[in-house]
């Protein structure tokens, strides 16, 4: 059975939401980052970054929330969390799955730290560009790929929920509001919210 290493009120939320969407049994292994549990030698052997979330599946271990999404979507194809190999929608699925750690995360750090980086040098362009691009992509909906919910929505939805709704780091927009509402209405999101509260 998959083991999910997680900590309350952390980026583990996306992995909890993901596992809840699969409908498969999994074991939650509390790795409370407020106690330093993420820095033990045992845990560092799983994720040398000493951060949650991380996952164990028999002999396989991995960290990084977006990679966990990709792995679990492939592990449980019946959950339909990713377009199948050969489906043309898979291209955009991968793009949006990677957009979260590659563009949304650094844009939020830029907002938080107020560092100035030339847009042509910054891999994420600018925070304005990131959220304009997301706004346009989410305008039609209901999901980032259109009609099909996917693991990319788990990464994008968790990021927007955190940045727009919970911490108000990014001004809301109509498309974001509708999208976060749709994400938050999913029973798996609601179960993950309860679990993530600790």
* Rounded-to-5 percentages of helix, strand, coil across the chain: 55, 10, 35
Q: How far is the CB of 52 from ligand GSH (least distance, A)?
A: 4
Q: CB 26 → ligand GSH: shortest distance, Å?
A: 17
Q: Which of 22, 38, 150, 158 binds ligand GSH (CB under 6 A)?
A: 38
Can residue 11 be called a binding residue for ligand GSH (CB under 6 A)?
yes
50 binds ligand GSH (CB under 6 A): yes
Which stretch, 45-53, 86-94, 112-120, 126-134, contacts ligand GSH (CB under 6 A)?
45-53
Among 32, 101, 110, 186, binds ligand GSH (CB under 6 A): 101
Per CB under 6 A, the list member of 22, 64, 76, 127 interacting with ligand GSH is 64
Select the residue interacting with ligand GSH from 18, 46, 52, 180 (CB under 6 A): 52
Question: Looking at the DSSP assignment, which residues form a beta bridge with residue 28?
Answer: 4
Q: Is the peptide bond before 142 cis (omega within 30 degrees of 0)?
A: yes
User: 90-127 burial, b if ≥16 CB within 10 A, otherwise e?
Assistant: eebbeebbebbeebbbbbbebbeeeeeeeeeebebbeb
Beta strands in the chain (DSSP E): 3-6, 27-30, 54-57, 60-63
User: 11 or 16, CB closer to ligand GSH?
Assistant: 11
**Residues contacting residue 180 through CB under 8 Å, at least 6 positions apart:** 157, 160, 161, 164, 165
- 75 versus 80: smaller Cβ distance to ligand GSH: 75
Only one of the segments 19-27, 51-59, 133-141, 178-186 lies at the binding site for ligand GSH (rule: CB under 6 A); that segment is 51-59
Nearer to ligand GSH, 32 or 178 (CB): 32
Round to whole Å and give the CA distance between 68 and 60: 11
Short-list 140, 110, 135, CA closest to 122: 110
Q: Could you list the residues that contact ligand GSH (CB under 6 A)?
A: 10-11, 33, 38, 50-53, 64-65, 101
């Amino acid at each position: 059975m998959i083991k999910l290493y997680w900590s309350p009120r952390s980026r583990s939320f996306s992995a909890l939401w993901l596992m809840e969407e699969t409908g498969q049994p999994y074991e939650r292994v509390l790795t409370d980052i407020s106690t330093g549990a993420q820095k033990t030698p045992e845990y560092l052997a799983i994720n040398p970054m000493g951060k949650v979330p991380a996952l164990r599946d028999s002999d396989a271990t991995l960290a990084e929330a977006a990679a966990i999404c990709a792995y679990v979507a492939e592990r449980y194809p019946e959950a339909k969390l990713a377009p199948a190999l050969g489906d043309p929608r898979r291209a955009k699925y991968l793009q949006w799955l990677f957009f979260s750690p590659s563009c949304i995360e650094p844009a939020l750090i830029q907002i938080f730290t107020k560092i100035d980086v030339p847009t042509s040098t910054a891999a994420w362009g600018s925070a304005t560009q990131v959220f304009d691009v997301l706004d346009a992509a989410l305008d039609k909906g209901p999901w980032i790929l259109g009609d099909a919910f996917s693991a990319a929505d788990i990464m994008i939805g968790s990021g927007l929920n955190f940045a727009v709704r919970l911490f108000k780091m990014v001004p809301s927009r109509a498309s974001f509001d509708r999208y976060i509402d749709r994400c938050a209405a999913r029973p798996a999101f609601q179960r993950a919210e309860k679990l993530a509260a600790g």
